Structures are given as C-alpha cells and as structure tokens.
Structure 1
Amino acid sequence: MLLMRQGPLAGRYPAVAVMVTFALIPYLALSAAIEPLVPTITDQLDMSAQAMSLSLGLGNAAYAAGTVLAVQLAQHLPQRRMLLVYAVVLVTGAVLAAGARTGAMFTCGLILLGLATSMLLIAAAPPLTIGFPKQRLRHTAMIMNMCVFGAVALGPFLGGVQSAADEWRPLFWVIAAVALLALLMAVLTFDDAPPADPDAPRDLRAIGLAAAGCVLAFVGASALTTHALTDIEVLGPMLAGLVLIVVLIVYQFRSPRPLLTIRSVLTSSIPVAGVGVALFAAAGSVAATTLTANALMEHLSPLRVGILYLPELGGAIVMAVVFGTVISRRAVHFLPLIGMALLAVGILVFQLALPANQPLVMLGAALTGLALGATVAPALFVVGFSLRSNSLQRVFAVIELLRAVAAFMVAPVLAHFALTVATDRSVGTSYALWIGFALAVAGAVFGVAIYAASGARPSTPDVDRFLDGEEPGWLSPPLLARIRKVPTSALSGQPKSATARLTHPRLDGPVPGASGPICFAYDGSDLADKAITRAAGHFAEDRDAIVVCVWQPADVGFPPTSDLHLDANNAAAVRRAAELTSARGADLAETVGFRARGVAVEAAPTWQGILTAAEEHRAGVIVIAPHRRAGILGHIQGSVAATVAANSSIPVLVMPTADSVEPGERDESSDHYPRPQQMAAPI
C-alpha cells in the first residue's frame, strides 16, 4: 500500500483555509466575469454565440453534477488523495481555457474547471467546517461566504477591467495561477485520510441521473441564444433534464442506502426551509445582478458597470462578518429571512435605477451583496445543523446541486424573457426584475410558512454536540408537524424533551395493535431483550415482527454484541455489527413466538431511523424499552423512546423495565455504554 506523509502545513487551520479559498475562487469568479468578455472570446476563437453559450452551459452542468460524483468517490477512495487529483484537474482546466486555440479546447477547459470546483467544494469544505475546534467555526463561515459570494461579487469588476483592454487571456492566466496555488496548498496541507465507506454501494444510477439531468437542462437553456423558449430544441432538453433531476431526488429518497441525504433533508422542517430559501435566493439574485448588468451595458462601458457593482463585494464582506458572528447563536435562523428581505429591496432599487441611474445602481448592488451573503451560505449551515455532522458532505452536495440548477438555469431563461417580452431592453429587464422580486418574496414566505406549519422554533445550536458528531445541533421537527397534528411534545425545539409526557401502558391483557408487523426497536442490550420477551405475552402467536437496529458511522448507536474489537470509524464494520445485532434480536423474537427478521438501518438521529423503518415496513405498533437515567437528568433529558413516542403516527408501546433491571446491568448515572472508540447514546 502506498504510504504518504503529512504535508508540512497539515492540520494548520490558516493553511487549510487558504487552500479552500484558492480552490473555490477561480471558477466562481470567472463565471461572473465572463459575460463582458464573450464578444472578444468568440471573435478570437472563431466561435458562434450559440457555441459560446453551450460552453458556458456545459461548464455549469459539470459544476452541478460534480457534487454527486464527489460524494460517491469520497466513499471508496482516499479522500485527501482525491483532493489532490481534483486540484490537478482544476489547474488543467484553467490552463486549457487560458491557452485555448479552438472553441472545443476552451469548452473542455470550462468543463474541467466547473467539475473540479464542485468536487473541491465537497472534498475540502466539510473537513474545514468540522475538522477544527468550534472556535474556528465562525472563521469557516466567513471564508465559505467570501469564497462563494465574494468571488461572484468581484467577477463583474474583473470582467470589466479585462474587457476595457480588449483581452481575455490575462484574466484566465491569473485564474490558472490561483488554481496552481490551490494545488500547492493542497500538497502542503496533505493529511492522508481513508475512504469514508469502502463497502458503500456504487450508485452509478444516481451519478448518471445527475449528469444526464444537468447536461440536458443546461444544454436546453443554452439554446435560448438562437431559439425561442417554446422551440423543441429548448423545451425538450430542459424538461427532460428537470424530469431526470426529479427522478434522482425520488430515487434517493426511496433508496435504503442513498448516496445523498434526500430523505433526511426533505422530511424535516428546518432543512426544507433552508433549502427552499437557498433556491429562491439563487434564482431571484440572477434578476438582481446579471440582467441589470446586461441592461446597463447598453448605456455604459463594461468597466464602468464593473465599478458600479463593487459595492456588491462590500456588502458580501460585511455580511460574511455578520454571519461569522451569529453562526453559533439563535439569530442564525433569522439571517436568511433578512437576506430575502434585502434581496427584495435591492431588486426594487434596481427597478428605479433603470436605464442607467448610477447612484441607485451602486445602492442596489450593495443591498444585493448583503442579501447574497445572508441567504445561501447561512441557509446551508442551518440545514447542516439540523443533521449530524457526518452528513455534511452530502448536505453540501444536495444544496449545491439544486442551487446550481436554480441559478444557472434561471439566468438564460430570464435573459431571453427580458429580450423578447418588449422591444426596449430596459423595459424587458424591468419585467424580469419583477419576477426576481416575486421569487425573493416567495422565498421569505416559504421559509416562514414551513417553520410555522411545522412548529419549528429558532434555537441556539449546540455546536459542541454537532462537531462531536453525537447529535444534530438542534431538533428539527418533522415537516408540517402541526398540520399533521404531531403531538406537541415533538415541537419543543430541543432534543429529548418529551419524557415527562410519556407514560407506560397497562399491560394487563393482550395488546391488539394494528394488522401490520410489530417493529421492535433493538440495540442489543439486556433491556431490549427483555422488551421482546415481555411483549410475547401481549401479542398473538406467530405475529410478524421486524427487529430494527439503528446504526451510523463513528457514533455507533448500539453496544457491540460480540467481544471483537469494533472500529467505530469503519462504516462497513459498524453496519456488519448492526446486522449481527438485529439478527440476534430476530432469533430471540423467533424463540418467543414471533415470525421475525432483523433489519439494520443507517440513520441519525436514532429515533428517526426507528420511525423510518416502521413506516417502510407498515408496522402496526412500535415496541421499545427506554433506558432511564437516575436523578434530575432522567427528568430533563428524556430518551430516544420518548422522542419516538412524540413523533410517531404509529402506536408506540413502551415496555416497563424498572422491575426487571438487575444490579450491574448498567450504570444508572450514565446514558452511555462502554465504547470501542466512539459510541452514541443507545435507545
């Protein structure tokens, strides 16, 4: 096996932060700078306007689809070595584009730049977020905001400067130099890391759906340069691409071992609100920036327009600082809402600025910069805090995939609309700006409505718990919990808060339940064994049953049932141990009269995995044994059993265990089993 030493700057936060910054800036800045350079590039490379639009579309498609590919590769290949590969691809793409002699060579360069950038984002950004002490989290939030939106805000100025010189290659060579610095820093900060899960399924279907969907959607949108929106050359690929992306989402939602965390994101209120706000902001901001800049260039030079948009960079910087300040506070929930309001106001200011009111353009740019810094990146972290930190790569992938589709597809559609809806481009742009305004307002209303309908309450994230990987940073209630009348104990906004409301049923006769199988929540403990044996006296013989053991990498979720050493960081080993544990529980259930089979479920938190398995198998009742804590902790912290009962739409039978706990079974002052390396709280 090839052994690689650590780089001299491995583990040093400033160096890793610089590497991430250099890795993300090139393509993101270039994507915002290239518009005024298009005439020069097409003339020198003998490209048609349609060919140039296709090149840009394919680069954006590569960026969107690369997020999914990066997550898959992280499961099976050494992650830091792959980061070096991505950095090499970034440099290669930049050099190809800068030195292009043909349109095909230029297009290949853009595709590699887009692909490498998204893969670097997935490979490098989550470790920067969770791989350092919590004191660094605020700096990471600022860096992520500046890398994405600071670079985008700087793009128009860079493009204007280069356009004034009637050149384009110098800017691309600067981009190549920055990419080379990113590669150098990746080498200097190298710290070899194993694959996340070598035994994970190779989900080629998900990668194929993402790639085909993005390519078709962006190819169709790029055809708007020479075709009408209703032409089959445009509408066919766009609709086909969007359908494939929807199929990808449904497929991942239903998959028992998904590549992306679609189910966790779409069934929980705060993630749905965060993703929705990010998509509305990405789509609405296009009208506030690209369309207005294009309209202004009919009256002003690209350099002048770029200078007028510099306040956008200032706004992004200010909001990055604000985001870093509030990321560990309750106020982080409100930042995306404030951003959507700023975006709506900024669009109204741009409306007043048309056709070329320069002071108002600068004010609108400043408001838009503030809005961008307050929406997408904060929404991303709000979603991340709602899930376990070991899902962060997949969370980033989901959001960036959808955000890229929303932003890069809406731009050409609105540009086409602005050009065709009226003979005067300023008038058409004004109409398009109203669409952007509507998107901004809709995003704000959507986020508030999801919180209200689900009973989600803004709370301060528990950063320590999140970074440790034990639990999400806060509890996100089930989606639309209030409308679906989930018990109020599930709406407290804090984890494990329902214990006081949970009571034991009287077990003085058979429990009929529903017709579905019994779902035993099983962690391999003695208490879980006794819950199965005691349940046999309250259900009919030969009743179908599933014995569910919930697991996750790093924070295992159950005590090992064998004496073998368990590497908690090896997902395959943990899954195999969970399968053995559930099989042991199923054997016990068989001996006491049930027709049982074991089910191992990867999920976090544990209660969600239990409910998911029960719903998928159409269980009639859930049987669970609580592990109680003694003293005051037992009253204020609750248990997984309480949270299952609070959130379940299926009857929950909590088996009393107090009269059957034997001395020495476990330490009643603790809610943790002995850990092989790391263990999560058991059921």
Structure 2
Amino acid sequence: MRQGPLAGRYFAVAAMVTLALIPYLALSAAIDPLVPIITEQLGTTAQTMSLGSGLGNAAYAVGTVLAVQFAQHLPQRRMLLAYAVVLAVGSILSAAAVNAPMFIGGHVLQGLATSMLLIAAAPPLTIGFPKDKLRNTAVIMNMCVFGAVALGPFLGGVQAEAHAWRPLFWIIAGVAVLALVMAALTFEDAPPADLDAPRDLRAIGMAAVGCAAAFVGASQLTTHGFDDLMVTVPMFGGLALIVGLVVYQFRASRPLLTVRTLLTSAIPVAGVGVALFAAASSVAATALTANVLLQSYSPVHVGMLYLPELAGAVIMAGVFGIVITRRAMHYLPLVGMVLLAVGIAVFKVALPTNQPLLLLASLLTGLALGATVAPALFVAGFSLRSNSLQRVFAIIELFRAVAAFMVAPILAHYAATVSTDLTRGTDDALWIGLGLAVGGALFGVAIYALSGARPQRPDLDQFLDGDDPAWYSPPLVARLRPGLPSRTPAAPVFAPTPASDLDGTPGPTGVVLIAYDGSDLAASAIGRAAAQLAPRRDALVVCVWQPVDVGFTPVDATHFDADRAVEVKQAAERTAARGAELAEQAGFNARSIAVEASPTWQGIVEAAEDHEASIIVLGPHRRDGLLGHLQGSVAAAVVAHSATPVLIVPEQSVGHLLRTQ
C-alpha cells in the first residue's frame, strides 16, 4: 500500500483536515465587507456577487452527497487528494480573478471541495485512530468549522480597511496549497468503501438541482422581493426537491444516505434538529447585526466587535473535548441553545452602538456556536454505528448548509424591507432568530421526553469497533407509539475475550515476525527471507489494519465496508492467513494474526515485542513519481523504533524473484 512519510500520524492528519476546512469557511464569513471592493475592481454588481455566493453555498451542500457516492466506488484517499487539488485550484482562481465568472467559478470550486474534504477526511480522523485521540478530534472539528467562521468578520474587516481583497484571497490560496501538501504527506491508500453499493444518480441529481435552485432563488433577494417569481419559483422549487430527496432516500431499499435510520431514532433527530435551529439563528444574527454596525463603525472596528465570538468558540471547543466521553455531552447542545437565545437578546438591546453589550453578545454567540452544531453532530453520530458516520456527517452538513445559508439572506431582506429604518427592521428580524433559538431548545427537550431517551455515557470502544452505537437511542416519540420500547435497555454484560495463544513459546532460534500487506512484493519477500534463514523456523505473519484507511491489499475479491471495523478486521485476518500459507510453502512453521494499529509501523513493532520475535522481515515498497518517493516510511520507522533486528528485502531482490518464478 502506498504511504506518505506522515501517514498514520494523528497530528499530521489533523493538521491536514484543519488546513482543508479553513479556507472556504473563513471566507464565507469574511466576504461581506469586501463585496463593494470586489464589485468595483472586477466591474460587476452586488447581485452578481450574491449569486456567486449562493452558487458556492449550493456547491458546498451538493458536495456532501457527491463525497459519499464517490467513497463507495473510488479509492478514498486518492479522492481526498483530488479534492485537495480542486480546493487549491479554486482558491487560486478566485485570488487571481480578472472578471466575475472567473471569481465565481473559483468560489464554487472552493465550496464543492471543502464539503467533500469534510466528508472524506473527518470520519477517518474520528474513527480511524484510538479512542484516546477522540477528545482531540472533537476540539479540532469544532475549531475548524466554527473557529474559522468566528474569525471571518475580523479578517474581512481588516482587509476591507485596506480597500483591497486579493491579499486575503492569496493567503487563503496558500493555506489551500498547504492542505494539498499535507494530503500528499499523509497519503495512505485505501480501497473503496463498498463496491456493491448502488450508483444513485437520482439522489445526486435531486441534491444538485434542488440546492442550486434554492440558493439561486435566495440570492435574488438582493434586488428582488418575495413576490417576484425569480425568487419564489427557484427557491421553493429547490426546497421541494430537497424534501423529495429526503423522502426518496427514506423509502429506498439501498439508500445512499442513511435517512431512514437517522430520522426514526430519537437522539439523532434531536441532534439534527438542534444543529439546524442553531445554524439558522446564529448565522442570521451575525449577518443582521453586522449590517447595522457597518452604518456606525468601520469594517475593521466591526470585525473587532466580533472577535469575542472566536474566544467563545475556543473555550467551548475545549469544554466539548472534556465532555465528549461523558453523559454531560447530551446537555451541551441544550446549554448552547440557551446561550444563543441570550446572546441574540443582548444583541437586540445593544444595537446600534452599545459596545460593551455588543462584545458580550458576541462572546455568548461564540460560546453557543461551539456548544451546539458540532456537539449535536456527534450526538447524532454516536447514536448509530460508526460505519454510518460518513453518511451522518453528510446529511447533517447538507441540512445545515440549507438552514444557515438560506435563512440569513431571507432575514436580511426582511430586515431591509419591513421598515425604512434598518435598525428597527433588524430588531424585528432578530425576534425571529430568538424564536428559532428557543424553538431549537424546546425541540430537543421534547424529542427526548416523548421518546423516553436518557443521557448516557458513550461506550466508545463499542462504537469504534463498528458493531454497535455508542449508546441506545429509542425509536422516535416511542412514548406515543404503543408497543415500542421507550426505556434504555440494561447494558449487556460482556465476558472477557480469552487471551490469544499466539504468544506461545518461540522456536529454538526465536519467532520470525513477517509483516505482510497482501501485495506481490510482500509475498515475494517471504520467499527471499526463507532462503536467508534456517529452515522450519517458527514464523508469525502479521497484517496491520485500521478502519477507513484499511492499510493492506485484500487477497480475495470479497467486498467489505471499509468504514466498519469488524469487516476490515475479517479481511485483514484472511490476508494474514494467506501470508501464513505462503510462509508454510516457503518452509516456515507459520501462524497468522491481524493487528489493529495506526501508524502501521507501530503495529509491527508492538507485535514483535508482544511475541518476543527474534527478527522482523519487511519488504519496503518504492515506486516512481512524487508519492513513490515518499514510500518506505514504514520500514524506516520500524528500524528506528524497534529493538528487534530487521531484515529488509530490497525491491530489486523481490523483483528478481518475481521474474524467476
């Protein structure tokens, strides 16, 4: 399997995810004060810029569905690398734009690539590493999405103060290129998730047309009213298609998106609902108040008034990291909705010029952002099996994009037209945002109460193994449906698994540990090692695996779900068994074992220590090209970290064996 030198290293992968998500999400919050400058320099109009933003948001929403479909049939890590290329290209196009079509085209590519990167990279970061990394992942995901959004108004204000926009866009392009470099350095080839999954072109088409139409319609509110067919036909037609997509996926026998499972279980419904209410009300509140503040302050001053949002997001990201392993995780989104309602109420009192209250409202909104959407997303994800996490993220991000990016322009239009005084109109619109925040809190509480759901401590070992959810979620509104269970069942008692007998006494000259990944090079290295070592040595063939990224080449044609740890483990066991057969044929007394570890070298080193191996046999892979020059990191890491002697069979020797067989 091809690997980059940083493959399997948690913080390198986390850095890649962070760099990939920041560009578009930061720009989406920074661009408003830059619109007049961009329109002037590119010779376009505010309506055209609004249309470009709408198309970018539509591309972000559609990308969630596309990423799930591509993951089923195409090598997942190669696609992630392709998404990073698209992000870099889109960012460069926007920064270098000489006209509106070039700018909008780049922005659309940015939105599309960002959501696809989120869906492709976030689940592996969540379930592809040991449980002790999950706390860090929670903090990173929260900061990626909402830290970038909270920092956006300040970045946009600083750039607008200089009456320029390209420097910020070139910095964003540089971040995107760095994300591409990290995607290459952390590259670890992984097979498609499920080659037997259907190619659901209907779902993709409904998502693409529905999102494009809905966002284009909403973007027309810049210069048109609600009574204009240019607004109502595409907007409501698009929303109808999105609803149709949900119904279609709910009824499909083999859906692309796990809508039925998600929307018939109490805790996921509560999590998704809270996320939608929070996204709609928070984004709208920030956009509405910024329009009023720009009448009294400079863009950079307004940006500074929103800096406490970033502080609040950082604080709550840390809190989320603490509670993600505890029962209190269920309460965090509710606390966030309360904070959001209070923050919007303070905004209403503070407008137009009470700066201390504005800073307090901004801080409360930042705390609310960090406590609601990302925690609600994980609450929903933990209620299903981990192999559904990618689809859960996709559904929530699709819904969140529609809620956040459509409600804001609608409320902004309402605020501008309901009264001749923008401050008074904004005050009226904020009442709607306040109602959404309160309604979201009541919705979550009502779903728990009517379904008999109870806050529970997540069983992360069970979740990460892929067999079961992290906790029990009763059927939706089970207390109102006779015959359905509404109480959490007693936790099953699991008997300890007997210890493996593979760590038996070594042979007279010690066990030979052979690292086997299913490739022809690894198979031939077994024969070469047998020729160099004494005959009938005891050998242990080890196949190292991890969910999502897999880490080996399957030796049979049996399809398996790469997101489900149990199926990956079974494929790894079959691969290791095939390696043991080859070792027997070469003259070893061989046994096999599959080891879950990340990075791969760590699994090899620990297996050698656990089984008191006298020597480790490795066949490093080296190939031409950029990624090829990054190969061999596993062998080098094993040599650097192991006290056991290592026999490395060079590719030349292996190639000679292949030619002579």
Match of 1:505 in 2: none
CA distance in 1, matches of 2:211, 2:126: 28
| Residues 36 and 160 in structure 1, CA contact (< 8 A), matched pair in contact too | yes
1:165-198 superposed Cα distances (whole Å, 9 cap, x missing partner): 0000000000000000100000000000000011
RMSD: 2.1
CA distance in 2, matches of 1:431, 1:16: 45
1:495-536 superposed Cα distances (whole Å, 9 cap, x missing partner): 569xxxxxxxxxxxxxxxxxxxxxxxxxxxxxxxxxxxxxxx
Match of 2:479 in 1: 482
Match of 1:453 in 2: 450
* 1:414 and 2:404 correspond: no
Match of 2:425 in 1: 428
CA distance in 1, matches of 2:561, 2:222: 50
Match of 1:299 in 2: 296
Match of 1:135 in 2: 132
Deviation, structure 1 residue 568:
5.1
Match of 1:193 in 2: 190
CA distance in 2, matches of 1:324, 1:258: 32
Match of 2:340 in 1: 343
Change (3 A) 1:102 1:493: farther
Change (3 A) 1:495 1:234: farther
CA distance in 1, matches of 2:218, 2:489: 42
* 1:256 and 2:262 correspond: no
CA distance in 1, matches of 2:406, 2:105: 20
* 1:6 and 2:3 correspond: yes
Match of 1:601 in 2: none
Change (3 A) 1:571 1:39: closer
Change (3 A) 1:467 1:356: same
1:77-114 superposed Cα distances (whole Å, 9 cap, x missing partner): 00000000000000000000000001000000000000
CA distance in 2, matches of 1:208, 1:565: 31
* 1:465 and 2:483 correspond: no
| Residues 387 and 563 in structure 2, CA contact (< 8 A), matched pair in contact too | no
2:19 to 22, 27, 31: 22
Give the residue type in structure 2 aligned to 1:132.
Answer: F
Change (3 A) 1:451 1:486: farther
| Residues 474 and 493 in structure 1, CA contact (< 8 A), matched pair in contact too | no
CA distance in 2, matches of 1:94, 1:252: 33
Give the residue type in structure 2 aligned to 1:98.
Answer: A
CA distance in 1, matches of 2:558, 2:189: 22
Deviation, structure 1 residue 316:
0.1
CA distance in 2, matches of 1:478, 1:287: 32
Bigger relative contact order, structure 1 or 2, given CA contacts below 8 A and separation 6+? 2
| Residues 340 and 364 in structure 2, CA contact (< 8 A), matched pair in contact too | yes
CA distance in 2, matches of 1:64, 1:565: 34
Which portions of structure 1, spanning 4 or more consecutive aligned residues, are displaced by more than 3 angstroms?
493-497, 564-574
| Residues 474 and 495 in structure 1, CA contact (< 8 A), matched pair in contact too | no
Match of 1:535 in 2: none
Q: Which runs of 5+ in 2 are unaligned?
A: 494-546, 549-555, 571-661
1:368 to 361, 365, 368: 365
Report SS of the residue matched to 2:199. coil
2:77 to 49, 63, 80: 80
CA distance in 2, matches of 1:294, 1:29: 18
Deviation, structure 1 residue 287:
3.0
1:264-288 superposed Cα distances (whole Å, 9 cap, x missing partner): 1100000000000000001111232
After the TM superposition, which residues 111-510 of structure 1 pair with which residues of structure 2 at under 5 Å, given as runs? Answer: 111-488=108-485, 490-492=486-488
CA distance in 2, matches of 1:457, 1:434: 32
Change (3 A) 1:184 1:281: same
Deviation, structure 1 residue 48:
1.0
Report SS of the residue matched to 1:471. coil
2:104 to 107, 128, 133: 107
Deviation, structure 1 residue 294:
1.1
Report SS of the residue matched to 2:479. coil
Deviation, structure 1 residue 199:
2.1
Report SS of the residue matched to 2:5. coil
Match of 1:558 in 2: none
CA distance in 2, matches of 1:218, 1:68: 16
After the TM superposition, which residues 45-60 of structure 1 pair with which residues of structure 2 at under 5 Å, given as runs? Answer: 45-60=42-57
| Residues 194 and 560 in structure 2, CA contact (< 8 A), matched pair in contact too | no
Give the residue type in structure 1 aligned to 2:38.
Answer: I
Give the residue type in structure 2 aligned to 1:393.
Answer: Q
| Residues 194 and 559 in structure 2, CA contact (< 8 A), matched pair in contact too | no
TM-score (norm 2): 0.75
After the TM superposition, which residues 91-106 of structure 1 pair with which residues of structure 2 at under 5 Å, given as runs? Answer: 91-106=88-103
Deviation, structure 1 residue 5:
2.1
CA distance in 2, matches of 1:317, 1:229: 38
Give the residue type in structure 2 aligned to 1:106.
Answer: F
Q: What is the number of residues matched between the two proteins?
A: 509
